[in-house]
């Protein structure tokens, strides 16, 4: 920890560089909680659409498509624009649009296609948020796997608490209660704006001359390695989105459990995913990113099979927790690897990694719904286990890129070095 005197010597204004940098990072993390809360809420609402509006598996799979794949297609565009334009306001705009879509979804549920549209709009809001917020988090977090894990786990936390909030609102009062889900997002939006105003004048921004010097020292993009990583993540997304979309329905339909028990299964899966995301970055900093990808993918394949063959709800819930934890171990690694492969296009790397790679998973979800309608919901977990196992094999050949924002690498603004040293 630097001495107080040294901090004062490096201050560019009335506050130290450390304070505004950390404040911005945690404010961004709070918005990530509520942005991904909307995705979790969309998935948690699916059983209620089935029970209250008699939607079929194919219909709710279509809603999953609206919430994920359409937004995933838009996300690379937002990433490209983030590389070209100052789009930081999209952080709060995207989060707010996503929240409004979910708030309206219950009110429109009597009309499937209107519900599909508002869920799609919510998904586009999620898409607009991720590239600028992820790049800003990378810069304020120093680019380490640990920092990206902390930012990423905030999103997992949002997805984890979403089914709890859905259960306390929609579970008690029905789909007409979805507007209540807007309240926590509104609170976080106010906190975020206040934090940004408080830190705006805390430290001088990096000069354009210094930014240009840093860019000149950044290594060239490695598109071949990036495409290989993208192919692996596409396989991962099929399993991740498939389990997230159908785990609650598996409990309520295959085992005739209540909607509350289905929500509990989704909550266990999401909380385990949050823990996996948090641990993955720390493990990657110690043992390497490739090791995290191989182990996470392989274990999740076994756990996904266990979900499909679970003889009772207790074993299913245990398998769901293991699958959520293992699948999320490499989540932050996906982002930091993409940044190391495309260091000159961080927004594009974020948008494609978090967006386009998820498109395949989203478009496969309706096919899983058709399979579930035909052969039973347990049948979908065999192909889900197979594709993520292929990803484990492909991960053996991944090449680890260099993180040009690590403090031992050059060059980075002093406030980023200070944050990394004190994180």
With a cut of 70, say whether residue 422 has pLDDT above it: no
With a cut of 90, say whether residue 85 has pLDDT above it: no
With a cut of 60, say whether residue 94 has pLDDT above it: yes
- Cα 36 to chain center, whole Å? 6
The average pLDDT across 294-301 equals 96
Question: Model confidence over 335-344: pLDDT tens digits?
Answer: 889 888 888 8
Better pLDDT: 68 or 141 = 68
| 288 three-class SS | coil
pLDDT band at 20, cuts 50/70/90?
very low
pLDDT band at 83, cuts 50/70/90?
confident
Structure tokens at 87: 């789009």
- Residue 15's pLDDT is what? 33
Domains and CATH numbers, the chain: 14-422 (1.20.1250.20)
With a cut of 90, say whether residue 235 has pLDDT above it: yes
DSSP 204-223: PPPPHHHHHHHHHHSPPP-H
Neighbours of 381 (CB within 10 A): 26
The verdict on whether omega for the bond into residue 285 sits within 30 degrees of 0, i.e. cis, is no
pLDDT band at 295, cuts 50/70/90?
very high
Distances (CA, A) of 144 to 24, 280, 383, 406: 16, 12, 34, 6
Q: CA–CA separation, 244 vs 79, rounded Å? A: 25
Q: CA–CA separation, 288 vs 291, rounded Å? A: 6
The average pLDDT across 235-246 equals 90
The average pLDDT across 395-410 equals 62
Q: What angle do helix axes 357-375 and 223-249 make, rounded to 10 degrees?
A: 30
Better pLDDT: 355 or 377 = 377
Better pLDDT: 39 or 407 = 39
Residue 267 C-beta-side C-alpha neighbours within 13 Å: 14
Question: Model confidence over 346-370: pLDDT tens digits?
Answer: 878 877 887 766 667 777 888 888 8
């Amino acid at each position: 920890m630097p001495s107080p005197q040294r901090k004062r010597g490096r201050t560019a204004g009335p506050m130290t560089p450390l304070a505004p940098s950390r404040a911005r990072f945690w404010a961004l993390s709070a918005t990530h909680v509520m942005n991904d809360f909307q995705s979790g809420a969309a998935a948690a609402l699916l059983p209620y659409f089935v029970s209250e509006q008699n939607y079929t598996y194919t219909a709710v799979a279509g809603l999953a498509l609206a919430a994920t794949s359409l937004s995933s297609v838009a996300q690379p565009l937002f990433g490209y624009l983030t590389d070209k334009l100052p789009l930081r306001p999209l952080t709060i705009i995207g989060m707010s649009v996503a929240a409004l879509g979910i708030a309206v979804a219950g009110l429109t549920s009597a009309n499937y296609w209107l519900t599909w549209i508002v869920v799609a709009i919510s998904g586009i809001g999620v898409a607009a948020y991720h590239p600028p917020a992820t790049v800003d988090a990378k810069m304020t977090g120093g680019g380490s796997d640990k920092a990206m894990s902390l930012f990423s786990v905030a999103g997992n936390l949002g997805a984890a608490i979403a089914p709890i909030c859905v259960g306390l609102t929609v579970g008690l009062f029905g789909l007409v209660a979805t507007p209540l889900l807007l309240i926590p997002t509104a609170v976080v939006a106010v906190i975020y704006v206040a934090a940004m105003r408080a830190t705006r004048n805390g430290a001088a921004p990096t000069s354009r001359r210094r930014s240009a010097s840093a860019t000149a020292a950044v290594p060239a993009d490695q598109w071949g390695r990036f495409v290989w990583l993208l192919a692996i993540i596409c396989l991962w997304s099929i399993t991740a989105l498939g389990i997230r979309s159908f785990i609650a329905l598996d409990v309520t339909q295959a085992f005739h459990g209540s909607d509350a028990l289905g929500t509990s299964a989704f909550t266990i899966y999401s909380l385990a995913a949050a823990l996996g995301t948090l641990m993955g970055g720390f493990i990657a900093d110690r043992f390497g990113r490739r090791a995290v990808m191989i182990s996470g993918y392989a274990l999740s394949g076994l756990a996904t099979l266990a979900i499909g063959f679970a003889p009772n709800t207790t074993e299913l819930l245990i398998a769901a927790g293991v699958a959520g934890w293992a699948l999320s171990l490499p989540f932050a690694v996906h982002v930091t690897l993409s940044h190391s492969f495309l260091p000159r296009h961080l927004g594009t790397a974020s948008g494609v990694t978090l967006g386009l790679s998820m498109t395949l998973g989203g478009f496969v979800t309706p096919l899983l719904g058709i399979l579930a309608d035909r052969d039973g919901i347990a049948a979908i977990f065999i192909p889900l286990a197979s594709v993520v196992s292929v990803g484990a094999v492909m991960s053996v050949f991944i090449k680890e890129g260099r993180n040009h924002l690590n403090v031992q690498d050059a060059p980075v603004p002093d406030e980023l070095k200070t944050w990394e040293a004190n994180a």
